[in-house]
Structure 1
């Protein structure tokens, strides 16, 4: 049975597009969630043992641009009702990364066999959520146009440390013409819970990026001669930090393949 057919069998006219997206993941869909379930908030994922959860929560508080918390599970509970009543953190992401000693040990499509009673799941805001507002204003989103993952880069911007959590900020990039870049700053400033305004415009080398054509995560996208790269703080930052800290065990999402929640993007906007 195809993924689409499986979802259709469990679908009805009243089902939210966000739930349809999660059901597709449960049935094996493994692809970028950029442009999926427009109107609904997407989130980055970090799952850690309880003994590290306090230090990570503090890390997010110290670094709200890359790590804005929008949801958190109880210890050992794979469900986060505030983000969706029919949501299982173990199956509802297209692809996961299992980390051991700071290295990627597995990239499964579910984490049922890795789930433990001492784990705490954090869901962090994702810039995919403000892309709807950008597109409504007629601003082009290059990675959506090319049907690839957004390009992401480790930078020379150092996050504030908390316990073992320290390392570089990761940013995502979208190219715009200068006038459109100004408008993008204005629009995304209204969404602080999903990274807010950019952290840098133009001159990638100023934040330690040698070549925008060679992202550390995601896929490259073309930048025209009359465009500048615009960089937003990114929720993949915890993955760079987990690798830097060489944590014995952690689980994240695969970059660009997010958790789709039942929260509405419009409810995140600050007027």
Structure 2
């Protein structure tokens, strides 16, 4: 009997990474390894790593640091023993001089010996926690992801890194919005509480249909509010503004899946 190529344990982060690495899983990661922490990836040249780390710490709600690699290393044992940061995201965006130039599935060909990789907290990590606390996430029911938006709020600049805050949005009922705010506030490593509830114009967002990256659930139903959290894609904006000779990030919702379990008892 032939075993389907996509037949793997979707709850096991190691199995998920192997399936991504082998090309057997190419989808968004928000509905796999849901008991484990996921992260954004930003890899910058070593000469800019100290400034980028300081930028992350100055804007910690959007860019909470989960781990930092050694220069040139594609491994990061602090988050997973067998991880390959150039292969396990399932999709990458390569920026040169601030311009996106390619979106490879595998980044080994462009990974440099001087790159320092940052894995930053991601709101995918708290979605299972929100659901365990009774919050309905309609985008998951519809097999979608949360939409992202570039706001008009400036981040705290450090060195060459600056730019606008990016947020992720979830369509929630008022009751769920209150519950989600209280729950997410307990997890600063996953962006903490929302920055705005129900007021996209307060963030300079003119049209919910115009999401950053062009993906995610953007349509509200009657009785729903748009609820906005800080987003790790803020780091992409900052890297573009810095016009680094090279920067490699994850592509869209293809996150780094770690072996770090979500807080015990919360899911």
TM-score (normalizing by structure 1): 0.92
Please give the root-mean-square deviation of Cα atoms over the aligned residues, in Å: 2.0
Query: For residues 253 and 141 of structure 2, what CA distance do their matches in structure 1 show?
Result: 15
Q: Deviations over 1:141-173 (max 9, x none)?
A: 122122123200000111000111000010000
In structure 2, relative to structure 1, the CA distance for the partners of 1:73 and 1:268 (3 Å cut) is farther
Matching residue within 233, 248, 251 for 1:251: 248
SS in 2 for 1:35: coil
**Match of residue 20 from structure 2:** 25
> Which is richer in helix?
1
**Match of residue 56 from structure 1:** 52
Query: For residues 257 and 181 of structure 1, what CA distance do their matches in structure 2 show?
Result: 26
The answer (yes or no) to whether the contact 1:3–1:24 under 8 Å persists in 2 is: no
Aligned length in residues: 263
Within 5 Å, give how 1:176-191 maps onto structure 2. 176-191=172-187
Within 5 Å, give how 1:113-192 maps onto structure 2. 113-192=109-188
> How far is 1:6 from its partner?
7.1
Match status 1:221 vs 2:218:
yes
> How far is 1:16 from its partner?
6.8
Q: Deviations over 1:48-79 (max 9, x none)?
A: 10000000000001000000000110111110
- Structure 2 unaligned residues grouped into runs of 5+: none
In structure 2, relative to structure 1, the CA distance for the partners of 1:3 and 1:166 (3 Å cut) is farther
**Match of residue 227 from structure 2:** 230
TM-score (normalizing by structure 2): 0.93
In structure 2, relative to structure 1, the CA distance for the partners of 1:52 and 1:184 (3 Å cut) is same
In structure 2, relative to structure 1, the CA distance for the partners of 1:173 and 1:73 (3 Å cut) is same
The answer (yes or no) to whether the contact 1:169–1:233 under 8 Å persists in 2 is: yes
